[in-house]
Amino acid sequence: MLEPTSLPVRPVAADVFVAGQLDPAAMAEAARAGFRAVVNNRPDFEHGPHQPANAQIEAAALAAGLEYRFLPVSGGYQSPAEISAFAALLQELPRPLLVFCRSGARSTRLFLAATRG
């Protein structure tokens, strides 16, 4: 059961949530809320240098005790291989799971494709 959080998350399943861009500080909040794993679907520097780098977010997630994976995908197209890789992560990672990208839309589409939702 998740604790209330100020993170802008929305459910796509009972134990999978999506969010827009998160920064390193959000990883501690995610852990406090009860998330056990995080997947970052946003490529580094997709829209310039002001976006937090994956390495920074990963370090913060690991420090907060979260499992973390980086599966960067394009906002406009997710390949069958990327969808398959995400499906494998859904099987591998503990729940509740938090998945994020720039706005949450590509993570939602990736989830739906991986689960045939």
CATH of the domain at 43: 3.90.190.10
Burial class (CB in 10 A: 0-12, 13-18, 19+), 78: buried
Q: Is residue 47 part of a domain?
A: yes
Burial class (CB in 10 A: 0-12, 13-18, 19+), 1: exposed
Q: Is residue 94 part of a domain?
A: yes
Which tens digits make up the pLDDT trace of 26-74?
999 999 999 999 999 999 988 777 889 999 999 999 999 999 999 999 9
> Cα–Cα distance between 73 and 82 in angstroms, integer?
7
Q: Is residue 4 part of a domain?
A: no
This prediction's pTM:
0.95
Helices H, strands E: what count in the chain?
Answer: 4, 5
When divided into structural domains, the chain yields a total of 1
Q: Is residue 52 part of a domain?
A: yes
Q: Is residue 2 part of a domain?
A: no
Domain that holds residue 100: 9-115
Q: Is residue 3 part of a domain?
A: no
Q: Is residue 102 part of a domain?
A: yes
Confidence of residue 14 (pLDDT cuts 50, 70, 90): very high
Using alpha carbons, select from 32, 92, 25 the residue that is nearest to residue 52. Answer: 25
Using alpha carbons, select from 111, 77, 109, 103 the residue that is nearest to residue 21. Answer: 103
Q: Is residue 1 part of a domain?
A: no
